[in-house]
Structure 1
């Protein structure tokens, strides 16, 4: 167990409270857990199956937080924007509350595969302007509405994480 904590989990535990980093961190943690199967398959399987039930930040809406994560590449943000702009037939349906992909799919998934036109609902629910979505992500750093939204979202903390730590 000590090897697992030191090699896999410790980094994720200390960086968990940031909401804007949560989607990327959750996906990367899942990939790390799945890759841990080469070291200890039973622990990898148990932890992966457990985390799979808690991938809230990879939902269609909350993955939008990633657009404010400074560690996400411009290329990934551009692909997310493309996913958010594509037309879907079930646009009126409520977005899923959490990711519902199997472990094999998660192992090769990228953040843009979770984004959809429903991702914009995050901004609507938080009353954030979305005009910056029409511009290229390379210009967002100088966009006033993007910076205001980023400042607001960076103050969000992952509530459940704090409750579990308490």
Structure 2
């Protein structure tokens, strides 16, 4: 499993250079993908291919929910992905990110990678104590967004996991 956040990961807080993301182009009023969100221009269309090349099932772990498949996936060349549902009534343990418990539950005992910009050591400790399989909780710099360095780290972790299994 590879859980992907959007804000701060695929949409960095700072605008990407023109070669790294979609160029700022005026959207036509009749554009069906026009969402009134200028930050969608910060998506890098190549991220979809880079993520698809990773060995694992991709899933959205974002507050974008179903809109991730409507507004983000087509812009970066991904198919519709599973979307994690976030329970409204669940309070996380103190210091643990509100997504952590749900992601461990969704992983259902499988190894997983979580790409997010808000991961802390408290999340890593909680996952290590409550999840029996290996997990890589990889924090992405929210100002840079997902980079080649992030993807290399994920790939290395996944490759090491594969080497252990084989």
TM-score (norm 1): 0.28
Structure with the bigger percentage of strand: 2
TM-score (norm 2): 0.28
